[in-house]
Structure 1
């Protein structure tokens, strides 16, 4: 199979929080968030975690493509820590477009360059020799080549985006960090303080919020979503901005997603544990008689977009 001509999605980094280069983790992978979409020789890169480093090396081995667009969900370190080592950014003749949360190109540039200044890093972005362009969206929409992207806000500390990406007739939704039960937690924490009428109003707001969130994902061919925690770990880390894999599965079913990929998995979970969570998710899908398929987002996994 020639991947220089195939339209595909490839996972280069699938871990959350920090890289986990351990022998017990290599079936799933140890790099942090980075997903490549290649269609019609246009490369769209979702997040710049440590997975973007091997992607950069791979891009340097081919002659056809000299431009990429990187879309960032947010600026937490596990999502941008690979950018200082992304080789195409240092090579004249390349063009690297970068987009992420921020009201202006200048703000996006400041957030990227902040990790590459003394005393945190010895080389600043001024050493990038590629043509670096910081992008802005219009009405939360962005286009690059065949990709039409729409941002939506998710529940994670700080300003964080999810992306609904349309390419040809396919829909791919990427939401790496998102706490689906965030509002449920907020209601539970204040339930004893609220009058019945207030609870009724808040419940209506919760349902409205969920419907709006489902719209961003509805009928996606591929849904790449935060599935960081087990129920036990999520109970300890409510409010941290990540989802229990069970919440992710139910949400995918309700959104009529065709293929769910469990992503941004906890770096403390070894391969066997993640594979157990995958089997439990498949069981849940079967119990709900859902058509949704579930997969582990494994580093190196390639999805043929044309066959979705």
Structure 2
């Protein structure tokens, strides 16, 4: 990796795990340290041989949440099963970045929704609120940005290697935040035929707007994430090709479980 990152997509879909795809979670590795961006149902893939092997020699896992919608946090309840040998720190956004704070995790990971509170987990686990950036987590330096989404969400930038922008309307202010990164992970919930009214109502982004952001920010490449569970492989390929053509730079649909070297 020579100073860069290794990205392992665990879940790339939005809302519902379907068609063999899980909801949002990405394992990022640098210098033997591991960062988990969001904890959707994709966390279940940490039990698979490949990801489990990557974490076998690790001592800790830092989880950074962007917000508290279930497709981004349900996998927290899987951690006692897939990360019980690790020291876990959950970095949870708080106002003014999001409307809710870590109390949302306490509500989810407690009876009657879950039998064991975090304090009762088999591994040492800490929940730490973050209200602004930058975040210094081991070898990772993260910039954060509040985004427009119901309840709020947070955009993340990991140095010049990558930016993670999901659950937000396509915002022109994102251009400066992600400028010149090697890889932009940007949500593409809405397709070419769905306009601004749909984006505003849902708090999500349309393909044409994502292409414009990527082009203006001069990112090296863009990956489609948080795409609609109703889209099959052919529909995703059409969306990818449309963004690549509009942006004039490489676009890809990430394959879950397949690592990618970044930056």
**Cross-structure match for 2:256:** 299
Q: 2:59 aligns with which of 46, 51, 66?
A: 66
TM superposition score normalised by structure 2: 0.87
Higher strand share: 2
Are the equivalent residues in 2 in contact too, given 1:151–1:164 (CA < 8 A)?
Answer: yes
Q: Which residue of 1 aligns with 2:93?
A: 101
Shift of 1:157: 0.8
Distance change in 2, residues 1:274/1:89 (3 Å): closer
**What is the 5 A alignment of 1:160-239?**
160-166=153-159, 170-180=160-170, 210=172, 212-234=173-195, 235-236=197-198, 238-239=200-201
Equivalences, count? 256
Alpha-carbon distance in 2 for matches of 1:174, 1:122: 32
In 1, are the aligned partners of 2:94 and 2:130 still within 8 Å (CA)?
no
- 1:75 pairs with 2:68: yes
Q: Residue 43 of structure 1 aligns to a residue in which SS?
A: strand
> Which residue in 2 is equivalent to 1:147?
140
Map of 2:8 onto structure 1: 10
**TM-score w.r.t. structure 1 length?**
0.75
- CA displacement 1:122-151 (0-9 Å, x = unmatched): 333233121112234475211112110011
RMSD: 2.5
Q: Which sections of structure 1, spanning at least 5 residues, go unmatched? A: 182-209
| Bigger proportion of residues as helix | 1
User: C-alpha separation between the residues in 1 aligned to 2:228 and 2:169?
Assistant: 14
Partners of 2:169 and 2:199 within 8 A in 1:
no
Report which of the two structures shows the higher radius of gyration computed on alpha carbons. Answer: 1
Distance 1:118 1:134, change over 3 A: closer
Paired residues of 2:89 and 2:126 also in contact (CA < 8 A): yes
Q: Distance in 2 between matches of 1:129 and 1:89?
A: 11
